[in-house]
Protein backbone atom coordinates (compact mmCIF):
# COMPACT_ATOMS: atom_id res chain seq x y z
CA UNK A 1 0.00 0.00 0.00
CA UNK A 2 1.17 3.55 -0.70
CA UNK A 3 2.99 4.76 2.42
CA UNK A 4 1.28 8.18 2.52
CA UNK A 5 -2.16 6.62 3.07
CA UNK A 6 -3.63 5.40 6.37
CA UNK A 7 -7.00 3.63 6.71
CA UNK A 8 -9.53 6.16 8.00
CA UNK A 9 -11.64 4.63 10.79
CA UNK A 10 -14.33 7.26 11.23
CA UNK A 11 -17.36 7.38 8.92
CA UNK A 12 -17.74 10.64 7.00
CA UNK A 13 -20.55 11.31 4.55
CA UNK A 14 -19.13 11.84 1.08
CA UNK A 15 -19.89 12.40 -2.60
CA UNK A 16 -17.93 12.15 -5.82
CA UNK A 17 -15.58 15.09 -6.37
CA UNK A 18 -13.16 13.39 -8.78
CA UNK A 19 -12.91 10.33 -11.00
CA UNK A 20 -10.05 7.84 -11.10
CA UNK A 21 -9.47 5.73 -14.20
CA UNK A 22 -7.37 2.71 -13.27
CA UNK A 23 -7.88 -1.07 -13.53
CA UNK A 24 -8.87 -2.77 -10.27
CA UNK A 25 -5.69 -4.87 -10.19
CA UNK A 26 -3.46 -1.78 -10.53
CA UNK A 27 -5.45 0.05 -7.86
CA UNK A 28 -5.09 -2.86 -5.41
CA UNK A 29 -1.35 -3.03 -6.14
CA UNK A 30 -1.08 0.69 -5.35
CA UNK A 31 -3.32 1.07 -2.28
CA UNK A 32 -4.13 -2.46 -1.07
CA UNK A 33 -7.32 -4.50 -0.86
CA UNK A 34 -10.62 -2.63 -0.38
CA UNK A 35 -11.53 -1.78 3.20
CA UNK A 36 -15.16 -2.66 2.54
CA UNK A 37 -16.87 -4.92 0.02
CA UNK A 38 -20.25 -4.70 -1.61
CA UNK A 39 -23.11 -2.65 -0.24
CA UNK A 40 -25.43 -5.08 -2.10
CA UNK A 41 -26.90 -2.18 -4.10
CA UNK A 42 -24.55 0.02 -6.12
CA UNK A 43 -20.94 -0.54 -5.02
CA UNK A 44 -18.53 -3.47 -4.83
CA UNK A 45 -15.34 -2.02 -3.36
CA UNK A 46 -14.64 0.89 -1.01
CA UNK A 47 -11.42 2.40 0.35
CA UNK A 48 -11.33 5.16 2.99
CA UNK A 49 -8.03 6.89 3.75
CA UNK A 50 -6.52 9.95 5.29
CA UNK A 51 -2.98 11.07 4.71
CA UNK A 52 -0.37 10.01 7.26
CA UNK A 53 -0.12 12.69 9.94
CA UNK A 54 -3.07 14.66 8.55
CA UNK A 55 -6.31 12.92 9.65
CA UNK A 56 -8.43 15.76 8.24
CA UNK A 57 -7.10 15.29 4.68
CA UNK A 58 -9.48 12.62 3.37
CA UNK A 59 -9.61 10.53 0.22
CA UNK A 60 -12.27 7.87 -0.33
CA UNK A 61 -12.60 5.66 -3.42
CA UNK A 62 -15.43 3.37 -4.54
CA UNK A 63 -17.04 2.03 -7.67
CA UNK A 64 -20.58 3.24 -8.31
CA UNK A 65 -23.12 1.46 -10.50
CA UNK A 66 -20.44 -0.06 -12.74
CA UNK A 67 -19.66 -3.44 -11.17
CA UNK A 68 -21.17 -6.87 -10.59
CA UNK A 69 -23.50 -5.74 -7.78
CA UNK A 70 -25.26 -3.39 -10.19
CA UNK A 71 -25.05 -5.87 -13.09
CA UNK A 72 -22.64 -3.83 -15.24
CA UNK A 73 -19.66 -6.24 -15.16
CA UNK A 74 -19.24 -9.89 -14.23
CA UNK A 75 -16.31 -9.33 -11.83
CA UNK A 76 -14.82 -6.47 -9.83
CA UNK A 77 -11.58 -7.04 -11.77
CA UNK A 78 -13.31 -5.58 -14.86
CA UNK A 79 -13.99 -2.23 -13.15
CA UNK A 80 -11.61 0.55 -14.19
CA UNK A 81 -13.47 3.72 -13.23
CA UNK A 82 -13.76 4.85 -9.59
CA UNK A 83 -15.62 7.59 -7.79
CA UNK A 84 -13.32 9.63 -5.57
CA UNK A 85 -14.10 11.96 -2.68
CA UNK A 86 -11.34 14.35 -1.69
CA UNK A 87 -12.25 16.49 1.27
CA UNK A 88 -12.14 17.15 4.97
CA UNK A 89 -10.90 20.27 6.71
CA UNK A 90 -7.58 19.87 4.85
CA UNK A 91 -9.14 19.21 1.42
CA UNK A 92 -6.54 21.19 -0.53
CA UNK A 93 -3.74 19.17 1.05
CA UNK A 94 -5.70 15.98 0.33
CA UNK A 95 -6.09 16.94 -3.33
CA UNK A 96 -2.37 17.66 -3.71
CA UNK A 97 -1.55 14.35 -2.04
CA UNK A 98 -4.06 12.42 -4.16
CA UNK A 99 -2.58 13.85 -7.36
CA UNK A 100 0.83 12.75 -6.10
CA UNK A 101 -0.42 9.20 -5.50
CA UNK A 102 -2.58 8.75 -8.62
CA UNK A 103 -1.08 11.20 -11.13
CA UNK A 104 -2.96 11.77 -14.40
CA UNK A 105 -5.37 8.89 -13.70
CA UNK A 106 -7.23 11.29 -11.36
CA UNK A 107 -9.53 13.84 -12.99
CA UNK A 108 -11.49 16.70 -11.46
CA UNK A 109 -15.23 16.83 -11.43
CA UNK A 110 -18.23 14.90 -10.29
CA UNK A 111 -19.08 13.75 -13.81
CA UNK A 112 -16.81 10.99 -15.09
CA UNK A 113 -15.09 11.32 -18.48
CA UNK A 114 -17.08 8.30 -19.77
CA UNK A 115 -20.39 9.86 -18.79
CA UNK A 116 -19.39 13.18 -20.37
CA UNK A 117 -18.60 11.32 -23.58
CA UNK A 118 -21.90 9.43 -23.44
CA UNK A 119 -23.84 12.66 -22.91
CA UNK A 120 -21.87 14.58 -25.53
CA UNK A 121 -20.44 17.02 -22.97
CA UNK A 122 -17.04 18.43 -23.93
Helix H or strand E encompassing 25: helix 24-31
The per-residue pLDDT for 45 is 96
CA distances from 46 to 55, 118, 120, 122 (A): 18, 25, 29, 29
- Measure CA 63 to chain center: 7
- Where in the sequence is the domain holding 98, given as residue range(s)? 5-119
CB-CB contact of 57 with 91 (8 Å): yes
**Which parts of the chain sit beneath pLDDT 50?**
none
Total domain count for the chain? 1
Amino acid sequence: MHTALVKHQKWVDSHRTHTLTMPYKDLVNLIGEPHFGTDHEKSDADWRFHFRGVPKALIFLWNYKNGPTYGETKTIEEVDEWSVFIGGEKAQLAETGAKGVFGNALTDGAISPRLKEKLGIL
